[in-house]
Structure 1
Amino acid sequence: SHGTRCAGEVVAARDNGVCGVGVAYDSKVAGIRMLDQPYMTDMIEANSMGHEPNLIDIYSASWGPTDDGKTVDGPRNATMRAIVRGVNEGRHGLGNIYVWASGDGGDD
């Protein structure tokens, strides 16, 4: 799946015999299942973006909102609060890092 491929680019082991290495090969990865719901809500997103902020350093959201390639949708209130809390308090005060897809709406 897309998420597995993205995670592999980050954590793939060095000297793995498949001619590739992750950019942070000594790191660990965890998955947070959220896109298997019948519809997305602000609380589902907020719970995902605020899950275990002292255990997770970087949240890589390799998915984006539906868009037309010209406009994009941003996080709602609860999600934004979870992200701000993570940035300010996560990693025991060092702050979480959030990396997000820019969207899927373009043709190129």
Structure 2
Amino acid sequence: AAANNNICGVGVAYGSKVAGIRMLDQPFMTDIIETSSISYMPQLIDIYSASWGPTDNGKTVDGPRELTLQAMADGVNKGRGGKGSIY
């Protein structure tokens, strides 16, 4: 999105950039893969979006693991030159 482009409304994240990070192309997922993906280039990436879902059995709950949670905390405190990454 862009500010003052006279075309349409402006979102709250105008000027931000979008980047794709391949995380789920592995035959398995590890904390290291999640951590390296969610903390990739924190000075250049403004907003990270990730979806964690359970095994499709209606019983299992899944989410970020310990190292990934620490990486997210580091991003919130240090990303974007100290302004904090947005998750």
Decide: shared fold, TM above 0.5.
Answer: yes
Relative to structure 1, is the Cα distance of residues 58 and 42 closer, same or farther in structure 2, using a 3 angstrom cutoff? same
Alpha-carbon distance in structure 2 between the residues aligned to 1:25 and 1:96: 15
**2:54 paired with 1:54:** no
- Give the drift of 1:75: 1.4
Q: Residue 80 of structure 2 corresponds to which residue in structure 1?
A: 91
- One-letter code of the match for 1:72? V
Which is richer in strand? Answer: 1
Root-mean-square deviation over aligned CA pairs:
2.4
Q: Residue 52 of structure 2 corresponds to which residue in structure 1?
A: 64
Structure 1 runs (4+) greater than 4 angstroms displaced: 20-26, 67-71
Alpha-carbon distance in structure 1 between the residues aligned to 2:16 and 2:76: 20
| 5+ residue gaps, structure 2 | none
- Give TM-score scaled by structure 1 length: 0.62
Relative to structure 1, is the Cα distance of residues 93 and 25 closer, same or farther in structure 2, using a 3 angstrom cutoff? closer
Alpha-carbon distance in structure 1 between the residues aligned to 2:23 and 2:10: 24
Query: What SS does the corresponding residue of 2:64 show, helix, strand or coil?
Result: coil
Calculate percent identity across the aligned residue pairs. 58
**2:75 paired with 1:80:** no
Alpha-carbon distance in structure 2 between the residues aligned to 1:51 and 1:40: 17
Q: Deviations over 1:23-61 (max 9, x none)?
A: 456532110001000000000000001000010010011
| 5+ residue gaps, structure 1 | 1-10, 99-108
Query: What SS does the corresponding residue of 1:72 show, helix, strand or coil?
Result: coil
